């Protein structure tokens, strides 16, 4: 009689689907569920699920604080795992009030990496758009102004990744999903999963657009070399959507999207029935210019222009606007153009009024 082996062992069992279960075969590791521990953290709830990772709200039992933990999904190739760990390295070196902070990195069930980070109690811009359709102009401008601040910091900072020093960083995935308004009115940029000083290439044409492609710059779609101005384009499309409630590029297939974006074709902002300063239209259109050299040279220039126009629209600061909106969205009313009561307009009105009065006097004399 031959010696028993795992392949012919009587301990094998027949599963419902007709396949044979081998007790010696490693069982797949399930993703965490409520109550499980991820490092020093106890899972409270799943708060986000992406293509490559899940995000959980957790309780850090040692420090007794709420945190967020991002766990890489099982079964991903080596490149995805390396990109996940690169995100952790990048976030660990970023310290800005408008960027989500990382606290730790570890492994769940020994070999599944996770990133422990700041938990932001709030709402993503994607959810806000779905709830509000569009945001009040002053809120939209304030939100994007703060993201300009975050990106300015990221774009000029030096990074050491895998022994090599890089000057600046491109986020490459600016979209409403990755921007959060906290309940305290603080704007946070998150998800640096594909951030790095290198280019993006796409390998599929004609398939349905998934996720972030609608916010990519034309040069990203063309697979060209990227610089920080690609983030300016993407942020411009976010501002466009916050103002109108509509995507600048709503096409459903990548081939249609490429055709429109590579020609710079989108519905003009001033064609919407929305009261807005003409200068704001110019700012958005400049940020979304087809050629990178026609956009703002630096994200700080974009932010400066937004701040400048905001000061002409309201006496409130960006901080005050976001805080008030977070506490009570209805407290921010729609912007309406105001008629100045001094300067040239008064002179024109005075002259016009004088002509009218003079005309009436002359008419009375003639009569």
Whether 13 is in a domain gets the answer: no
Domain assignment of residue 8, yes or no? no
Q: Give the mean model confidence (pLDDT) for residues 10-26.
A: 51
- Reply yes or no on whether 173 is catalytic: yes
pLDDT over 90 at 342, yes or no = no
Residue 77 shares a structural domain with residue 127: no
For residues 42 and 130, membership in a common domain is answered with no
Contact 141, 309 (CB under 8 A): yes
Burial track 159-196 (b if 16+ CB lie within 10 A, e otherwise) = beeeeeeeeebbbbbbbbbbbbbbeebbbbbbbbbebb
Joined together, the tokens standing for residue 345 give 């307009």
Lowest mean pLDDT among 22-31, 97-106, 185-194: 22-31
The answer to whether residue 361 scores a pLDDT higher than 50 is no
Instruction: Return all residues near 283 (Cβ < 8 A) that are at least 6 apart.
Output: 302, 305, 306, 309
pLDDT at 61 > cutoff 80: yes
Same domain, 181 and 96: no
103/231 same-domain check: no
Query: 321 vs 75, which has greater pLDDT?
Result: 321
Residues 113 and 142 both lie in one domain: no
Predicted confidence band at 199 (pLDDT cuts at 50, 70, 90)?
A: very low
Contact assessment for residue 125 and residue 322, using Cβ atoms and an 8 Å cutoff: no
CATH code assigned at 54: 3.30.200.20
Residues 109 and 129 both lie in one domain: no
Within-domain flag for 343: no
* % of the chain residues with pLDDT over 70: 78
Higher pLDDT: 276 or 355? It is 276
For 223-239, what is each residue's pLDDT tens digit? Answer: 787 889 999 999 999 99
Inside any domain, residue 365:
no
Calculate the average pLDDT of the chain: 82
| Catalytic pick among 173, 177, 191, 231 | 173
Q: Quick check: 198 pLDDT over 50?
A: no
How many Cβ atoms are within 10 Å of 49's Cβ, its own excluded? 11
Answer yes or no: do 189 and 81 share one domain: no
Task: Check pLDDT > 90 for residue 12.
Answer: no
Q: Give backbone dihedrals phi and psi of 187, rounded to 5 degrees, phi first.
A: -90, 130
Q: How many CB atoms lie within 10 A of CB 26?
A: 6
| Mean pLDDT on 16-27 | 52
Burial class (CB in 10 A: 0-12, 13-18, 19+), 258: buried
Of residues 310 and 196, more confidently modeled = 310
| pLDDT tens per residue, range 150-178 | 999 999 988 887 788 878 888 988 999 99
Q: Which structure tokens are listed for 354?
A: 């004088």
Q: What is the mean pLDDT of residues 48-60?
A: 90
Task: Give the range of the structural domain holding residue 80, as residue numbers without chain letter.
Answer: 37-118
**pTM summary value:** 0.80
- Are 108 and 220 in a shared domain? no
pLDDT at 115: 93
Token pair recorded at residue 101: 């902070």
Both 325 and 218 in one domain: the answer is yes
Answer yes or no: do 200 and 184 share one domain. yes
259-295 in b/e form (b: 16+ CB < 10 A) is: ebbeeeebeebeebebebbeebbebbbbbbbeebeeb
CATH label of the domain that carries residue 276:
1.10.510.10
Q: How confident is the model at residue 201 (pLDDT cuts 50, 70, 90)?
A: very low
Give the count of domains, the chain.
2
Selected residue with higher pLDDT from 53 and 189: 189
Of 118, 137, 157, which marks where a domain is finished?
118
**C-beta neighbour count of 364 within 10 angstroms:** 8
pLDDT of residue 82: 83
pLDDT band at residue 109 using 50, 70 and 90 as cut-offs: confident
The string of DSSP letters for 114-150 reads EEEEE---EEEHHHHHHHHSS--HHHHHHHHHHHHHH
Boundary (domain end) residue, out of 118, 136, 159: 118
For the residues 240-267, what does the mean pLDDT come to?
90
Please check whether residues 182 and 221 belong to one and the same domain. Answer: yes
Residue of 71, 47, 70, 44 whose CA lies nearest to 58: 44
Domain boundary among 78, 103, 118: 118
Residues 282-297 have pLDDT tens digits of 999 999 999 999 999 9
Residues 191 and 270 in one domain: yes
């Amino acid at each position: 009689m031959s010696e028993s082996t795992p392949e012919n062992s009587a301990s094998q069992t027949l599963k419902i689907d007709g396949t044979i279960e081998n007790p010696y075969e490693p069982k797949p590791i399930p993703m965490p569920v409520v109550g499980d521990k991820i490092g020093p953290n106890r899972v409270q709830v799943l708060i986000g699920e992406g293509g490559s990772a899940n995000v959980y709200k957790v309780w850090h039992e040692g420090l007794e604080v709420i945190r967020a933990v991002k766990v890489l999904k099982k079964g991903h190739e080596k490149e995805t795992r390396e990109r996940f760990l690169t995100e952790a390295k990048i976030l660990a070196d970023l310290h800005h009030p408008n960027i989500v902070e990382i606290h730790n990195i570890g492994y769940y069930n020994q070999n599944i990496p996770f990133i422990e980070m700041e938990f932001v109690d709030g709402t993503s811009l994607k959810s806000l758009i779905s709830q509000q359709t569009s945001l009040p102009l002053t809120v939209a401008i304030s939100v994007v102004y703060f993201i300009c601040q975050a990106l300015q910091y990221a774009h000029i900072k030096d990074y050491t990744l895998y022994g090599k020093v890089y000057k600046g960083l491109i986020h490459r995935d600016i979209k409403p999903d990755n921007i959060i308004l906290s309940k305290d009115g603080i704007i946070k940029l998150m998800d640096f999963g594909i951030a790095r000083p290198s280019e993006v290439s796409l390998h599929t044409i004609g398939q349905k657009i998934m996720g972030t492609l609608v916010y990519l710059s034309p040069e990203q779609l063309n697979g060209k070399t990227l610089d920080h101005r690609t983030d300016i384009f993407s942020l411009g499309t976010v501002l466009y959507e916050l103002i109108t409630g509509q995507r600048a590029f709503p096409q459903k297939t990548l081939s249609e999207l490429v055709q429109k974006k590579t020609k710079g074709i989108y519905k003009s902002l001033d064609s919407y029935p929305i009261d807005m300063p003409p200068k704001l239209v110019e700012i958005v259109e400049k940020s979304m210019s087809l050629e990178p050299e026609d956009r703002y040279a630096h994200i700080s220039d974009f932010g400066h222009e937004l701040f400048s126009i905001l000061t002409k629209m309201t006496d409130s600061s960006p901080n005050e606007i976001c805080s008030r909106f977070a506490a009570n969205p209805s407290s921010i009313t729609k912007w309406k153009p105001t008629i100045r009561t001094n300067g040239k307009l008064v002179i024109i009105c005075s002259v016009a009024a004088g002509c009218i009065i003079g005309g009436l006097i002359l008419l009375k004399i003639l009569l």
